[in-house]
Amino acid sequence: MATQRVLDFLATRRPAGPCLVVDLDVVGDNFRAFEKALPDSKIYYAVKANPAPEILRLLASMGSSFDCASVAEIEMAMDAGASADRISFGNTIKKERDVARAFELGIRLFAVDCVEEVEKIARVAQGARVFCRVLTDGEGAEWPLSRKFGCVPAMAVDVLRHARKLGLDAHGVSFHVGSQQCDLTAWDRALGDAKQVFATLAEEGIVLKMVNMGGGFPTRYLRDVPVAQAYGQAIFGALRKHFGNQIPETIIEPGRGMVGNAGVIKSEVVLISKKSDNDNVRWVFLDIGKFGGLAETMDEAIRYPIVTQRDQDEKAPCVLAGPTCDSADVMYEKTPYPLPLSLTIGDEVLIEGTGAYTTTYASVAFNGFEPLRSYVI
Ligand SMILES: *Cc1c(COP(=O)(O)O)cnc(C)c1O
């Protein structure tokens, strides 16, 4: 839902093109809710979800740590006030010279998921701590992360053993249960796998210390999602179940759950048309689409709530598309989106829950459209 602050900003400033408005108060509330839900876990905000400097500064001032995927993100987190010991290089795919640069900047915590990556880190970041990412099935996630990251638990054992042999600190295990994960039991399955890695290595005298439980915490789109507290309880229960009273240090890396509901995109209806006289599904074209920041509508995975000023009127299904000359720039067609029959060219619409994965997904100038503007208030 758009907060009053956001609505007031849009009403008084009246920015012309499509834009994202982020309410920092909501980000602050989300941070506190995570702290309260998982008081023993350290929070590493996943910078990629929304790297706006105002957001990073707020979170740094509240004591957050940061999960970064590149040297540029590391520098952004440091510019926002985070010291190197509050930053992890969480991408499993890094150039060796970027590892070296991060190490120079003071970063000591690195993600890996294979021995090849361990070898890069051992060459240029001696003594660093590494954690190995294990695959998850992504079951229950609306934006699953597939098999690109992580390895099977048995291989994680080899990877961490290799890290130790090369002089690195074999620090722990990580996983990501898939983004927009609404199944509270997903962490239980992954923590079972993590425990297996801990137990196998303990038998060889390698004592792991940390489990990085990743992101996956949802934003409310069209359906209700469990609150942070419910995630906290489920996760704590799973930690107890698998680790008994030897619960390791834990990290969470919320991205979407930290900023998704803090942002609203204001857009404008550019065209409403039909493909034939007896077509009963209208095509509604907005001034924002897949290339302007709504990339997560790919495969219609994320369905954003769309608010118009005519929502009390009768609604009928529409195909919703963006303004560019690419036929892939259609957001919702397989499952058309109900919009008011009275909707008119020039109307403003609000696309809610768009604080995460929008500004950074916007193209630079496809068809001459500028990247998504953002205002953080
Ligand atoms: C993207 C990412 C996150 C954030 O995921 P959300 O589902 O947005 O919370 C956390 N950790 C890692 C390693 C990631 O790549």
Q: Judge if 232 and 297 occupy the same domain.
A: no
Query: Does residue 329 sit in the same domain as residue 222?
Result: no
d(CA 370, CA 343): 26
pLDDT recorded at residue 100: 98
145: pLDDT strictly greater than 80: no
Which residue, judged by its Cα, is nearest atom 11 of ligand 1?
214
Question: Ligand 1, residues 173, 179, 211, 261: which to mutate, most atoms within 8 A of Cβ?
Answer: 179
Tens-place pLDDT, residues 154-202: 999 999 999 999 999 999 999 999 999 999 999 999 999 999 999 999 9
Are 127 and 186 in the same domain? yes
Single out the residue of 63, 88, 301 nearest to residue 213, CA to CA.
88
| CATH number of the CATH domain containing 232 | 3.20.20.10
Tell me the pLDDT tens digit for each residue of 224-238. Answer: 999 999 999 999 999
Domain range for 308 is 261-376
Please work out whether the CB of residue 176 comes within 6 Å of at least one atom of ligand 1.
yes
Q: Is 334 exposed, middle or buried (0-12, 13-18, 19+ CB in 10 A)?
A: exposed
Report the atom number in ligand 1 closest to the C-alpha of 133.
13
pTM of the model: 0.97
- Ligand 1 contact, 138 CB (< 6 A): no
Q: Quote the CA–CA distance of 32 and 351 in Å, as a whole number.
A: 25
Task: For residue 267, give the CATH number of its domain.
Answer: 2.40.37.10
* 283 CB-near residues (< 8 Å, 6+ apart): 271, 272, 273, 274, 275, 318, 319, 321
Distance (angstroms) between ligand 1 centre and the Cα of 296 equals: 14
pLDDT in tens, 47-102: 999 999 999 999 999 999 999 999 999 999 999 999 999 999 999 999 999 999 99
Q: Is residue 22 part of a domain?
A: no
Q: Both 227 and 99 in a single domain? A: yes
- The answer on 241 and 106 residing in a single domain is yes
Q: Based on the fold, state whether residues 134 and 226 are members of the same structural domain.
A: yes
In a domain, 46, yes or no: no
| Co-location of 300 and 170 in the same domain | no
C-alpha distances (whole Å) from 268 to each of 143, 207, 275 are: 27, 56, 21
Same structural domain, 203 and 296? no
- Clarify whether residues 289 and 324 are in a common domain: yes
In a domain, 18, yes or no: no
- For residues 4-14, average pLDDT: 97
- 304 and 239, same domain (yes or no): no
